[in-house]
Structure 1
Amino acid sequence: MKSLKAAIGVALALVAGVALWEGYKAVGDPDGTSVFGVRILPRTDDAAMPHVLDVLRRLGEPELAGGRPVWRVVFDACLFTLGITAVGFLVGTLVGLLLAVLMQRFRVAERGLLPWVVLSQTVPLVALAPLVAGWGGALSLGPYPWQPWMSVSLIAAYLAFFPVAVGMLRGLQSPTAIGIDLMRSYAAGWWTTLLKLRLPAATPYLFPALRLAGAAAVVGAVVGEISTGTPGGIGRLVIEYSREATSDPAKVYTAMIGAALLGLAVAGFVALVEWPLTRHRRRVLLP
């Protein structure tokens, strides 16, 4: 029942988005809406805002004359970026979990690391990505040279670790004083308390953080592909299609749709993993 409501909510959101797009295109100014000489709403001509039907139709047409359909090109690019995102997501999640456990165990670590964890997210990604690509070019993993996609995965991990570290830290600190005193009365050490009390208590905080981390990893991968020029992914495809914005504006939005669906797919995968793991917990909490 809950999954049906979620599906209906997603469908209604899509319908509302399409209606808003087409409604503004129908009544908006072709030159855009400006206030005090500053444009606050985009132009509504076909070059800037093609009809949704035109974008969907373009997905089924060949990318080039006699070539593959656009939807297949976008799909393959999304698969490439998905692999990069998965690596970055796993690395970022692992780093975030380790930082959270470290900061919970040692108060001095929390005071020393947490401000830097927060500060790390203020660095512009477009400025960081070329540096990561440059550093990676001088590295190697044993006999294996550093690959360009590894730099993109590292950028994705950079964005993914933050919500996991902050959310997991809050979850590990969520047990009540009564629960902690009870574990102490059983002579349970820190490790046993972590496994038996803190980790189960952190589950409601962990999965929302993982969904944010998944979306952040997609953003990092797309921006990383654009900034480093890594070919094959949806980020690079956005740049390539943007060059045809004047002659084929609908084609630009096909790549953007692919990037958006990729983010939704990653968040949906985390939700699917969450459901069987938290179902038992919800059943236990019911009176």
Structure 2
Amino acid sequence: MNRTKRFLGALGGLAAFALLWEGYKAVGDPEGTVVLGVRILPRADDLSMPHLLDVVRRLGRPELTGGRPVWQVVLDACLFTLGITAIGFLAGAVVGFLLAALMQRFRLVERGLLPYVVLSQTVPLVALAPLVAGWSGALSFGPYAWQDWMTVSTIAAYLAFFPVAVGLLRGLHSPSAAGVELMRSYAAGWWRTFVKLRLPAALPFLFPALRLAGAAAVVGAVVGEISTGTRGGVGRLVIEYSREATADPAKVYTAMLGAAVLGLVAAAFVSLIELPLMRHRRRVEVNVI
């Protein structure tokens, strides 16, 4: 029943977005809504806001004359970016997990490190990506030189570690004082208390954080591809299609649609992992009660 409600809710959200898009296009000003000289709503002309049906139709037409359909090009680009995103997501999740465990273990580390963890997310990605590319340009792993996709994965990991670190830290602090005292009465050390009490209690906080981290990793990968000029991914495709925006505006939105679907895929993957683990956790809680 819950899955059906979520599915219907997702369909309702898509329908509401489509109605809002087409409704604004029908009644909006082609030059945009301007108040006191400031444009507060976008232009509603076909160049800025093509019909959604035109975007869908453009997916089925060739990218170039005699070439592959756009949907195949976008799919290949999304798969390339998905691989880079997966590496960045895993690296960011591991770093976030270790930082959360370290901050929970040592309060002094939490007080000294947490402000810098938060501060790290204020650095603009557009400025960060060239710096990472410049710093890593001279790196190598033996005979293997640093590749552009590694830079993009690093940027994805940079965005992914933050929600994991903060969300998991909150979850690790969530057990009640009575539960912690009970583990101490069993002479359980920090590691056993962490595994048996704190980590299971943190799962409801961890999985929402992982979904945010997955979406953030996609954003980081796309922005990283755009900033570093990495070829093959959907970020580069957005740049290439943007050059044709005047003659073929619907084509630009096909790449943007691919990036949006990529974010949904990342969040759905985390949800697939969450279902069996949370079901097992609830079953254990029922048995204990």
TM-score interval (norm. to shorter): over 0.9
Please tell me whether residue 138 in structure 1 is matched to residue 138 in structure 2: yes
Kept after mapping to 1: 8 A contact 2:100/2:169: yes
The letter for the 1-side match of 2:7 is: A
- TM-score of the superposed pair, with normalisation by structure 2: 0.98
Offset at residue 120 of structure 1 (A)? 0.2
> SS in structure 2 opposite 1:183?
helix
Indicate the percent of aligned positions where both proteins have the same amino acid.
77
Amino acid at match of 2:121: Q
**Residue 155 (structure 1) aligns with:** 155
Query: Which structure 2 residues correspond to residues 23-172 of structure 1 after superposition, within 5 A?
Result: 23-172=23-172
Give, in angstroms, the shift of residue 5 of structure 1.
Answer: 1.1
1:273 aligns with 2:273: yes
Alpha-carbon shift at residue 156 of structure 1 (Å): 0.2
Give the gaps of 5 or more residues in structure 2.
none
CA contact (8 A) 2:77 2:232 kept: yes
CA distance in 1, matches of 2:270, 2:282: 17
Task: Report the RMSD for the aligned CA atoms in angstroms.
Answer: 0.9
The Cα shift of 1:282 comes to 2.6
User: Using the alignment, how far apart are the partners of 1:284 and 1:135 within structure 2?
Assistant: 48
| Aligned counterparts of 1:36 and 1:282: Cα–Cα separation in 2 | 56
2:284 and 2:193 map into 1 onto residues whose CA distance is 20
Deviation at 1:135, TM superposition (A): 1.1
Give me the whole-angstrom Cα distance separating, in 1, the residues matched to 2:16 and 2:207. 28
Q: Is the 8 A contact 2:92 2:160 kept in 1?
A: yes
Per mean C-alpha deviation after superposition, the further-off stretch among 277-286 and 182-191 is: 277-286
- In structure 2, what is the Cα distance between the partners aligned to 1:94 and 1:258? 27
Cross-structure match for 1:229: 229
How far off its partner does 1:3 sit? 1.2
1:59-87 CA-to-partner distances (Å, cap 9, x unmatched) read 00000000000000000000000000000
Alpha-carbon deviation of 1:2?
1.2
Give deviations 1:216-266, integer Å, cap 9, x for gaps: 000000000000000100000001000000000000000000000000010
SS of equivalent residue, structure 1 residue 53: helix
The Cα of 1:28 is off from its aligned counterpart by: 0.6
* Aligned partner of residue 39 in structure 1, secondary structure: strand
Count of aligned pairs between the two proteins: 287
Amino acid at match of 2:65: A
